[in-house]
Amino acid sequence: MSETVKETLNEEEIMPNLNADENVAGTTHMNDEMTSEDDLSKALGEAAEWKDKYMRLFAEFDNFKKRSFKEKMEVIQTGGKDVMMGMLDVLDDTIRAEKQMETATDIQAVKEGMNLVFNKLKHVLQQKGLKAFDSIGEEFDVEKHEAVTEIPAPSTDMEGKVIDELHKGYLLNDKLIRHAKVVVGKTPNA
């Protein structure tokens, strides 16, 4: 053998074939072409499709936010409509009662008429979920009472309890909407 053939054989033994590990995952072949133009154009096409989908989803989400905001504003603006519709009947009755009071001579009939209007008002409000709660004699609770003042308790069992109620407290669908304004009994000389 000639010297050149021996050198070539020795190089093949020393330099392994770079493509010999074709079936091993994660290997890169140094002598293969990395990508072809077809692969590149295919990847660019897919990227354009994804960008288009992203832009459409973004626009759709933006429209959803605007639509939701508009619907929320409509609910806020017309949310009291149901309550107002119920109150209109009470208002009509109040106007009729006011006209009757101008010419009425029977005070008892006026009182009965006003009681009917008042009871109708309470009934409409209760139908809408409004409920008053009693506070007198109850333990003072900062979650539902607002102490206006403290006075000496008339007896030791009324210390720390509500003695008087200046404004009733109200719940709307079991959620507190107004604290009761109360007078609380305190220990004498405290």
pLDDT in tens, 131-167: 999 999 999 999 999 999 999 998 889 999 999 999 9
pLDDT in tens, 58-97: 999 999 999 999 999 988 888 788 888 889 999 999 999 8
Q: What is the CATH number of the domain that holds 167?
A: 2.30.22.10
pLDDT in tens, 111-122: 998 999 999 999
Among 128, 144, 162, residue at a domain's last position = 128
For the chain, the C-alpha Rg in angstroms (whole number) is 42
Q: How far is 74 from 66, CA to CA, in rounded Å?
A: 12
Number of structural domains found in the chain: 2
Query: Whole-structure pTM over 0.85, yes or no?
Result: no
Sequence-distant (≥ 6) Cβ neighbours of residue 185 within 8 angstroms? 150, 151, 152, 153, 154, 158, 159, 160, 161, 162, 163
For residues 124 and 146, membership in a common domain is answered with no
Q: Which domain holds residue 151?
A: 131-190
